[in-house]
Amino acid sequence: MRKLVFILFLLNIIVSCNSQNNQKAYIGTWLEIQKKGGDFVIVDCGYEGASIKVSNTSILDKGIIENSDFKIDHIKQDNDEIILFTDKQEKSYYKFLWENKEKGISKWEIHYDKSATVVKYYVNILKLKTIKTVKGTKKDCVTNDNVGDVVNDSFKIDNGNKVINIEDDNCISLKNKKDEMIFERCFENSIIHIRHIKGDFIPLTIINGQKSIDVDFFNTGNNWVSNSITYYSDSPTGEVKQTKKITISIKEFDFNTVVEQFGEMTSKKTSSLDVIKDKEKLMQMDIYAIADILKTNPISKENITIYNNAAYNLIEGGNYNEARIILLDIVSFSPDRVVAYLNLGDAQWGFDQNEKAKKSYQKYLELMKAQGKDLNKIPKRVYERIK
């Protein structure tokens, strides 16, 4: 009997220790990795990559340009997810989840108050040998030669007679020596870099999600116009580079319209919908990739169920912002689609848009009653959240 009690006591200690280890799995130093051709890899750009260092009390987020240091206010665990909140209001957090525990690969959902949620993947430095290292491409790496500072960059052209300025990542202005504005504009859903190349033209790299464009705009008198455009995209075998003669003014430039001229819309129209059917691939997509698919394949009666299922899967995976932009298009196309408002409310609630979520839940209840649906099937969380 004593032997049995002793064995149970030891088992209890072992289980307790394992439980504590799982709860502390996020502690350590993690190096950011990327997914290329279906595999996670370390991208070598010749400088120290982005990483996060997590202790019991703090998070040091080391970026390529700058570092951020946060104190952990409190921690919550939801099944396999561990959420490290950096404020009492729970508006900013780092959410940890194992992607591949054996290889030491983790998935981190990072959200700052009033900012979009970002999903990144990291490998624990103790497991670096499990991940292949590849040489970074032009799109992967930041260099002094081609991008300068990401924010508030400036560059003189035309022998110093004109100055290009970049502000807030996506807005460009051109001024003369007297600081008089020649023109300015912003590029929606894009990040703008100046390629520091001397000449009488505006040399830009325009990044949208996983795609980028190099373009030089030349002065034609009243406008600045391109002669050719180089387009970079990913494929299962690596980066694809295409150059084409395209004439377009900087004022009329639209990223998606230009990409379509490289045959992107025709070749990917079917496959893009196939991508969101694949749950694993869907979870790797950011809001820019989702927006590209919605533009290429507008919601219709034929594909609305595919989109609704994708949005549901994104919510289940905690990708609330990506789900939200799909569902907003769904309810715009089909205002009487009951379940879409429930899902939209869930996505908005998960994205900290609580007031908008309440309105979506109210609309869901109204449609359930108006269409004679079974009110007993309404989830309890709907009533709890609209109080």
Q: Does 252 share its domain with 322?
A: no
∠ CA(306), CA(340), CA(317), 5° rounding?
65
pLDDT at 12 over 70: no
In a domain, 143, yes or no: no
**Amino acid found at 1:** M
Q: Is the torsion defined by CA of 147, 149, 153, 158 positive or negative?
A: negative
Reported as a single tens digit per residue, the pLDDT across 64-94 is: 656 778 889 899 988 889 999 998 888 889 9
Beta-ladder partners of 302: none
Q: Say if 96 falls within a structural domain.
A: yes
* DSSP β-bridge partners for residue 62: 51, 67
Q: Are 249 and 332 in a shared domain?
A: no
Amino acid present at 387: K
CA–CA dist 266, 214 (Å, integer): 22
Claim to verify: residue 227 and residue 333 sit in the same structural domain: no
Pair (321, 370) in one structural domain: yes
Q: Examine the fold and report which residue of 257, 277, 297 is the final residue of a domain before the chain moves on.
A: 257
- Determine what percent of the chain is predicted with pLDDT higher than 90: 36
pLDDT for 240 beyond 70: yes
Taking the C-alpha atoms of residue 294 and residue 308, their distance in angstroms, rounded to an integer, is 12
- Tell me, yes or no, whether 16 lies in a domain: yes
pLDDT in tens, 134-182: 887 766 776 544 443 344 578 888 888 899 988 877 889 999 888 888 8
The answer on 124 and 31 residing in a single domain is yes
DSSP lists the bridge partners of residue 207 as 191, 212
Q: Tell whether 249 and 273 lie within a shared domain.
A: no
Does the pLDDT at position 354 exceed 70? yes
My answer on whether 108 and 162 are in the same domain is no
d(CA 117, CA 318): 10
- What type of residue is 119? V
Q: Answer yes or no: do 161 and 123 share one domain.
A: no
Which is more confident, 88 or 8?
88
- What range defines the domain where residue 345 resides? 266-385
Mean pLDDT across the chain, nearest whole number? Answer: 83
User: What's the total number of domains in the chain?
Assistant: 3
User: Within 10 A of 37 (CB to CB), how many other CB atoms are there?
Assistant: 11
Q: What is the CATH classification number for the domain harbouring 78?
A: 2.40.128
| For the chain, percent of residues with pLDDT exceeding 70 | 84
Task: Mark whether 171 and 214 lie in a shared domain.
Answer: yes
User: Where does the pLDDT of residue 113 fall: very low under 50, low under 70, confident under 90, or very high at 90 and above?
Assistant: confident
Candidates 49, 85, 51, 50; CA nearest to 70 is: 85
For residue 26, what pLDDT band results from cuts at 50, 70 and 90?
Answer: very high
Class of residue 301 by CB neighbours under 10 A (exposed 0-12, middle 13-18, buried 19+): exposed
